[in-house]
Amino acid sequence: MSDQEPLLLQAVLDKPDDDAPRLVYADWCAQQPDELTRARAELIRAQIEMLQPDYQSLDRVEQYRISSRAAELLTAHRQAWAGPLVDLVGDYGYQRGFVFWVQTSASRFLANADRLFALAPIAHTDITAMRDVSEEFFASQHLRQLRSLLMDNCGLYDIHLQLLADSPHVTWLRWLSVANNHLGMKGAEALAASKNLPFLRFVEFGGNPVDPTEQLGVDGGIIVASVFPQAGMDLEARYGVLPWLHRDQVVQRFAQ
């Protein structure tokens, strides 16, 4: 590692939503003598290009060329580029040239969060088990780094959504999945009443005793019907319009 690389990485960590520091990092990578580092420049540029509005206007052959090259680079080098992060999580994925999502238990997240967020601009976490660390997890200041969070099949109850809703560190959360837990109306009310979730636009409640979100009927990839459940209507009667109850806005997982 050169003296310049830590400074370039820190610039990316300081402004994770901006492409400019990543492209500066890519320029540095392209000038290095080793093939592995030069290939990183290709990945950064390709993945950034794939998220640009102009990408959709390219012909399909060009889109495939860019996306397949990015996939080829990741197949060959993803572990080497991830470095020590590999040993801290169960799985991980890249966006815009850097690791941006990780899969881990809540306890491992808490144990390794300082190192994880010093190594990569992580914006999404899949939590695989909550066990007995829920209070510490939802109190972690590292949650402020996240734009999306998945906690499916974690044995969550309403109290866990109350802890999340009360956390001052979830302000930037836009996407949340809590499918297949034990959540009822009190958990949904906690999210609805929270002042800490101003940007929340999507919540997946499927597989819980209560699911207040709009249900879509899809036929051949086309939305042909929608049903807004009474639970959702009751929430909006009390708290006003809640964007995350509706499916008329497309908010991707791993939202920026």
Alpha helices in 15-59 (DSSP H): 20-30, 35-50
DSSP state letters, 160-220: HHHHHHH-TT-TT--EEE--SS---HHHHHHHHH-SS-TT--EEE-TTSS---S-EEEEET
Token pair 């999580």 is at which residue?
Answer: 89
Residue 212 lies in a domain: yes
Residue 81 lies in a domain: no
CA distance 168 to 170: 6
Residue 97 lies in a domain: no
CA distance 242 to 233: 10
The residues, any chain, with a CB within 8 Å of residue 27's CB and separated by 6 or more, are 41
Residue 174 lies in a domain: yes
Q: Where are the beta strands (DSSP E) in the chain?
A: 91-95, 98-104, 124-127, 148-150, 175-177, 202-204, 215-219, 222-227
DSSP 18: -
The residues, any chain, with a CB within 8 Å of residue 131's CB and separated by 6 or more, are 105, 106, 107
Q: 138: how many CB neighbours lie within 10 A of its CB? A: 20
Residue 108 lies in a domain: no
Q: Is the dihedral of CA 187, 190, 192, 197 positive or negative?
A: negative
Could you read off the pLDDT of 179-235 as tens digits, one per residue?
A: 999 999 999 999 999 999 999 999 999 999 999 999 877 666 666 678 899 999 999
Q: Facing residues of 124 across strands?
A: 101, 148
pTM of the model: 0.91
Number of domains in the chain: 1
CA distance 190 to 163: 9
pLDDT by residue for the chain (256 residues), tens only, comes to 567 999 999 999 999 999 999 999 999 999 999 999 999 999 999 999 999 999 988 889 999 999 999 999 999 999 999 999 999 999 999 999 999 999 999 999 999 999 999 999 999 999 999 988 999 999 999 999 999 999 999 999 999 999 999 999 999 999 999 999 999 999 999 999 999 999 999 999 999 999 999 987 766 666 667 889 999 999 999 999 999 999 865 555 554 4
Question: CATH no. for residue 146?
Answer: 3.80.10
Residue 70 lies in a domain: no
Q: 32: how many CB neighbours lie within 10 A of its CB? A: 14
pLDDT at 2: 66
Residue 252 lies in a domain: yes
- Looking only at the bridges linking them, the beta strands covering 124-127 and 148-150 are parallel
CA angle, residues 31, 101, 75, in degrees to nearest 5? 55
Residue 30 lies in a domain: no
CA angle, residues 15, 16, 19, in degrees to nearest 5? 85
Domain extent for 140: 123-256
pLDDT at 255: 47
